[in-house]
């Protein structure tokens, strides 16, 4: 993974010093809250319902065991002993004190971490495929390019006060594991006929109030022109994006209102003017960064490990965990391990400091020191020997992190909701926990197969409900907590925005309603169909009439 | 408001002329874009140095053909969170504007470095802010990551230089 | 006539605080001064704004409250109850032990946003 050189180290230290000064000026009153707010947001510091919340950046979700240990230390020293992994591969702490944050950031800088631009109207953490460097279906390691974009976007002087937040994601596979099509800019790495690397660029994707799938703004931007092209897009957006209405300020609205052809023309005109400039990405820099993402020192192993196969045969729980959480690795004899943070002990995505330390130890032993965070609020050990999977599974079990539910109905994306967030309409975590309890039976979960359920506590859609196979949106109905159901969304390469199925359900009824939908799926599914597939085959009507039978009677 | 230019508080030689006022002074007059478009010929002919003040909704493309007759372009920050003028400044520099680009309106000390890097060379500052603050803010970072208008070599180039130096050894 | 208390977040630690009788800010709503008249509310809000100017708190505002049969102050709005009592999901972070506030997964009684149900 990327390691700082002296320039990177100096940079984060400069940033810590700058923020320390800003905190001093805030505490003395020299900066008002109104002035301080955008500055602290650009260091990832929110003021939420109960306390400050600090969002620490994990660039493209990759971090080391040493960094995980530091995060555990921070959780214990500056917070309440736990952290929360987010839908953009970052980690959040919910209870830091403002006066402690500069020291907290200094400690992060010691391990090459920071909280730069994890909030604010600027370019945010560049996210990437959590299986990068490990999976066979990628044509390059998306993190190399995510790192190049990260450096270019860090404290970019021109794009620090955009109309709104700006999110970029990178993928190098036909399988979209990073919700790329729903980002402000989505980058798909491609190779042309000459074998040269370039990017298919999508712009204007997003969730929130007006969910939109992105559109292709350029079919192939050569690798060396990536930064000049991004600069052109950002410049056009910065100059022309709406500033009158916070809910219409993302680039997706600009694309929608301008029209794609005109948008492409404006971007191309700007790009032409700046393409052949110092913005060209030098070959030596690409190679320098690529070197950091070289494969770890794999052993030469057979494709199949006999011990592993035997263990699966002998231990059905282990076999189930493998079936649920373990994915094929491109290197013979290795595997990708998903670690679910959706257990019933903690809110979804949460992890205790003790668990963090345990995982750091395990990563050192089993996965070359490296850990990944996914946008689904889970973790990954990307390079585990098949022969060691059984031991790893046992150790994960001891730390409470062996839940085999990856991709299953209880592996939900859930926003913090009204329990934590000042923007929320309703709570979301309790609903998730109730659904989880209803589907606690693992046999049942496996029978249901892949079922992506996502819950947002408000229309900002931080829980990604628009792209859930089943999505839940918390709404205030007559002063009560209600939940609206959407069906048929997908954040993968079959991108789709879910459709509202009908009137919202009360908090008391919502879990039963979800169960009705899932029961119907079981009744009418064909062999091998996921919930999403069945929904696409039969449409909304059967699900509607199942949930709202009285409407059927009324029509009759 | 005090004017900060080149890291020092300086006298402001310019006057902002309201749209409805007659031109009485010869030179160092700043007018709105509308006024400039309306009275361009007479402004250029009669007075000395002229400048234009753009609002944050007005792109410099609108005066792209007038850059060699203008000595000053003022770019507005109606709120310090409105970052359009950073792009306007970069655009002006790329179009070859060599005169003064001044930030007017609401800017915080914490934005001085952004302003400098985007091609601003002067700004109106709040009462009480000093030239020293400017110095502190612009020195806050040793080296930036990305290319911008200002002449600083971003980190990528510093790395190349170091590589080249090592290769020579 | 609705009663109010004044609330804010403390600047240095971000925690939810309530203005007490002495004008100082405390973590527990039970110690908050209940304001029963518009005049009292106006006076205390002015004091709260002064506290913001003095870098003690951020964003003070008034919330509607009621009193239970034990005379304990209880916010009317559900959002304010979460602020006062802590997240419903984590007993460890509860500010006070308030019956019915923490989520019990089997209890599906409705939550009323704007009044005590």
Q: Note the pLDDT tens digit of each residue in C21-42.
A: 999 999 999 999 999 999 999 9
Taking contacts as CB-CB distances below 8 angstroms, the residues of chain B near A278 are: 147, 154, 157
As a whole number, mean pLDDT of residues A60-87 equals: 97
Chains B and C: 3 or more CB pairs within 8 Å of each other: no
Whole-number Å distance between alpha carbons of C91 and C81: 15
Chains A and B: 3 or more CB pairs within 8 Å of each other: yes
As a whole number, mean pLDDT of residues C98-109 equals: 77
Query: What are the tens digits of pLDDT across the range A323-343?
Result: 999 999 999 999 999 999 999
Q: How confident is the model at residue C117 (pLDDT cuts 50, 70, 90)?
A: very low
Could A98 and C13 be called an inter-chain contact, meaning their C-beta atoms sit closer than 8 Å?
yes
Instruction: Write down the residue that tokens 């900060």 correspond to.
Output: B4
Whether A555 has a pLDDT exceeding 70, the answer reads no
Q: Which of A501-510, B41-50, B55-64, B139-148 has the lowest mean pLDDT?
A: B41-50
The three state secondary structure string of A493-516 is: CCCECCEECCCCEECCCHHHHHHH
Whether A463 has a pLDDT exceeding 70, the answer reads yes
As a whole number, mean pLDDT of residues B111-137 equals: 88
Pairing of strands A185-191, A168-171: parallel
Domains of chain B (ranges, CATH numbers):
3-141 (3.20.20.70)
Taking contacts as CB-CB distances below 8 angstroms, the residues of chain A near C115 are: 479
**CATH classification for the domain delimited by A306-398, as one of 3.40.50.720, 3.40.50.740, 3.90.480.20, 3.40.120.10:** 3.90.480.20
Whether C104 has a pLDDT exceeding 80, the answer reads no
A-chain residue closest to C86, CA distance:
A50
Could B142 and A14 be called an inter-chain contact, meaning their C-beta atoms sit closer than 8 Å?
yes
- Write the CA distances from A528 to A320, A386, A533, integer angstroms: 18, 27, 9
Whole-number Å distance between alpha carbons of A46 and A90: 14
Please give the pLDDT value at position B152: 65
Taking contacts as CB-CB distances below 8 angstroms, the residues of chain A near B106 are: none
Q: How confident is the model at residue A552 (pLDDT cuts 50, 70, 90)?
A: low
Whether A21 has a pLDDT exceeding 70, the answer reads yes
A527 in contact with chain C, both atoms CB, cutoff 8 A? no
Could A50 and C87 be called an inter-chain contact, meaning their C-beta atoms sit closer than 8 Å?
yes
Please give the pLDDT value at position A551: 63
Among C105, C107, C116, the residue to mutate for chain A (most A Cβ within 10 A): C105
Taking contacts as CB-CB distances below 8 angstroms, the residues of chain B near A18 are: 110, 140-141
Our CA-based measurement puts residue B70 at a distance from the nearest CA of chain A, in whole angstroms, of: 22
Taking contacts as CB-CB distances below 8 angstroms, the residues of chain A near C14 are: 47-48, 50-52, 95-98
Please give the pLDDT value at position B151: 63
Please give the pLDDT value at position A534: 98
Q: Which residue has the higher pLDDT, A497 or B39?
A: A497
Could C55 and A98 be called an inter-chain contact, meaning their C-beta atoms sit closer than 8 Å?
no
User: Which phi and psi angles does A464 have, rounded to 5°?
Assistant: 60, 30
Q: Which residue has the higher pLDDT, A278 or A338?
A: A338
> Thinking of the domain A413-555, which architecture would CATH place it in?
2-Layer Sandwich (3.30)
Could C105 and A427 be called an inter-chain contact, meaning their C-beta atoms sit closer than 8 Å?
no
Please give the pLDDT value at position B45: 84
Our CA-based measurement puts residue C47 at a distance from the nearest CA of chain A, in whole angstroms, of: 17
Q: Which residue has the higher pLDDT, B21 or C112?
A: B21
Percentage of chain A surpassing pLDDT 70? 99
Chains in contact with B, where contact requires at least 3 CB pairs less than 8 Å apart: A
Q: Which of A174-178, A247-251, B134-138, B157-161 has the lowest mean pLDDT?
A: B134-138
Q: How confident is the model at residue A79 (pLDDT cuts 50, 70, 90)?
A: very high
Q: What residues of C are in the A interface, CB distance below 8 Å?
A: 9, 11-16, 52-55, 58-59, 78-79, 82-83, 86-90, 92-93, 103, 105, 108-115
Using DSSP's 3-state secondary structure scheme, residue A358 falls into: helix
Whether C61 has a pLDDT exceeding 60, the answer reads yes
Whether A507 has a pLDDT exceeding 90, the answer reads yes
Q: Which regions of chain C does DSSP assign to beta strands (E)?
A: 3-10, 16-19, 25-26, 57-67, 73-75
Please, what's the b/e burial string for B12-31 (b: 16 or more CB within 10 A of its CB; e: otherwise)?
Answer: eebeebeeeeeeeeeebbbb
A-chain residue closest to B77, CA distance:
A161
Whether A345 has a pLDDT exceeding 90, the answer reads no
Whole-number Å distance between alpha carbons of C81 and A22: 33
B86 in contact with chain A, both atoms CB, cutoff 8 A? yes
Taking contacts as CB-CB distances below 8 angstroms, the residues of chain A near C54 are: 29
Could B84 and A273 be called an inter-chain contact, meaning their C-beta atoms sit closer than 8 Å?
no
Give, for A127, the enclosing helix (H) or strand (E).
Answer: strand A127-128
Find the CB nearest A243 among B82, B111, B148.
Answer: B82
Summary mean pLDDT of chain B: 90
Chain A to chain C Cβ contacts (< 8 Å): 98
**CATH classification for the domain delimited by A134-291, as one of 3.30.413.10, 3.40.50.300, 3.30.70.920, 3.40.50.970:** 3.30.413.10
Please give the pLDDT value at position A556: 45
Summary mean pLDDT of chain A: 96
CATH 3.30.413.10: which residues of chain A? Answer: 134-291, 413-555
């Amino acid at each position: 993974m990327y390691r700082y050189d002296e320039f990177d180290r100096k940079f984060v230290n400069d940033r810590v010093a700058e923020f320390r000064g800003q905190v001093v000026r805030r505490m003395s009153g020299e900066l008002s809250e109104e002035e301080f707010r955008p500055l602290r947001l650009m260091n990832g510091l929110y003021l939420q319902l109960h306390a400050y919340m600090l969002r620490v950046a994990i660039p493209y979700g990759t971090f080391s065991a040493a960094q995980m240990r530091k995060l555990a230390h921070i959780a214990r020293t500056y917070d309440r002993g736990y952290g929360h992994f987010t839908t953009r591969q970052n980690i959040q702490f919910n209870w830091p004190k403002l006066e402690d944050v500069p020291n907290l950031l200094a400690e992060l800088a010691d391990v090459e971490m920071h909280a730069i631009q994890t909030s604010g109207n600027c370019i945010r953490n560049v996210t990437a495929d959590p299986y990068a460097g490990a999976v066979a279906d990628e044509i390059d390691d998306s993190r190399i390019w995510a790192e190049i974009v990260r450096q270019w976007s860090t404290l970019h002087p021109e794009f620090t006060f955009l109309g709104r937040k700006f999110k970029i994601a990178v993928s190098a596979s036909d399988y979209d594991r990073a919700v790329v099509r729903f980002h402000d800019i989505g980058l798909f790495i491609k190779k042309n006929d000459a074998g040269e690397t370039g990017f298919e660029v999508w712009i204007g994707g997003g969730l929130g109030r007006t969910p939109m799938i992105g559109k292709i703004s350029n079919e192939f931007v050569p690798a060396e022109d990536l930064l000049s092209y991004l600069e052109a897009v950002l410049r056009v957006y910065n100059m022309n994006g709406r500033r009158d209405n916070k809910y219409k300020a993302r680039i997706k609205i600009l694309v929608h209102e301008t029209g794609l052809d005109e948008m492409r023309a404006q971007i191309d005109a700007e790009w032409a003017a700046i393409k052949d400039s110092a913005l060209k990405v030098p070959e030596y820099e690409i190679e320098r960064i690529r070197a950091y993402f070289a494969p770890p020192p794999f052993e030469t192993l057979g494709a199949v490990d006999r011990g592993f196969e035997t263990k699966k045969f002998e231990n059905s729980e282990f076999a189930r965990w493998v079936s649920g959480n373990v994915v094929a690795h491109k290197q013979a004899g290795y595997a990708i391990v998903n670690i679910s943070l959706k257990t019933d002990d903690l809110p979804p995505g949460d992890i205790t400091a003790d668990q963090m330390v345990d995982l750091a130890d395990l990563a050192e032993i089993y996965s070359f020191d490296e850990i990944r965070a996914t946008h689904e609020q889970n973790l990954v050990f990307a390079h585990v020997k098949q022969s060691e999977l059984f031991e790893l599974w046992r150790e994960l079990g001891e730390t409470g992190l062996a839940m085999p539910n990856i991709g299953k109905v209880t592996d939900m994306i859930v926003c913090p909701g009204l329990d934590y967030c000042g923007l929320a309409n309703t709570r979301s975590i309790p609903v998730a926990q109730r659904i989880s309890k209803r589907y606690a039976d693992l046999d049942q979960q496996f029978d249901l197969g892949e079922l992506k359920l996502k819950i947002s506590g408000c229309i900002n859609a931080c829980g990604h409900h628009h792209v859930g196979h089943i999505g839940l949106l918390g709404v205030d109905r007559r002063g009560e907590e209600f939940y609206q159901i959407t069906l048929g969304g997908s954040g993968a390469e079959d991108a789709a925005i879910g459709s509202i199925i009908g009137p919202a359900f009360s908090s008391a009824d919502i879990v039963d309603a979800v169960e009705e939908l899932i029961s119907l799926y079981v009744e009418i599914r064909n062999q091998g169909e996921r919930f999403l597939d069945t929904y696409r085959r039969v449409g909304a009507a059967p699900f509607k009439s199942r949930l709202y039978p009285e409407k059927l009677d009324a029509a009759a | 408001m005090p004017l900060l230019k080149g890291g020092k508080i300086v006298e402001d030689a310019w006057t902002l002329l309201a749209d409805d006022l007659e031109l009485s002074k010869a030179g160092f007059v700043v007018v709105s874009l509308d006024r400039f478009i309306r009275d361009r010929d007479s402004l250029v002919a009669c007075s000395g140095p002229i400048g234009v003040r753009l609002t944050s909704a007005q792109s410099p493309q609108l005066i792209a053909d007038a850059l060699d007759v203008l000595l000053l372009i003022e770019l507005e920050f109606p709120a310090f969170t409105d970052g359009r003028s950073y792009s306007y400044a970069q655009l002006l520099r790329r179009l070859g504007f060599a005169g003064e680009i001044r930030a007017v309106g609401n800017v915080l000390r914490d934005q001085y470095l952004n302003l400098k890097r985007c091609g601003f060379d002067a700004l109106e500052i709040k009462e009480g802010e000093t030239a020293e603050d400017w110095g502190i803010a612009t020195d806050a970072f040793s080296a930036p990551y990305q290319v911008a208008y200002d002449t600083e070599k971003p980190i990528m180039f510093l790395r190349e230089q170091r590589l080249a130096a090592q290769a020579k050894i | 006539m609705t009663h109010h208390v004044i609330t804010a977040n403390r600047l240095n630690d971000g925690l939810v605080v309530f203005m007490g009788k002495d004008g100082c800010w405390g973590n527990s709503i039970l110690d908050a001064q209940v304001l029963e008249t518009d005049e009292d509310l106006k006076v205390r809000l002015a004091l709260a704004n002064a506290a913001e100017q003095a870098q003690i708190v951020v964003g003070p505002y008034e919330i509607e409250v009621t009193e239970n049969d034990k005379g304990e102050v209880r916010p009317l709005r559900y959002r304010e109850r979460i602020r006062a009592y802590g997240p419903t999901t984590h007993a460890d972070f509860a500010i006070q032990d308030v019956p019915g506030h923490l989520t019990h997964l089997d209890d599906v009684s409705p939550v009323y946003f704007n009044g005590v149900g």
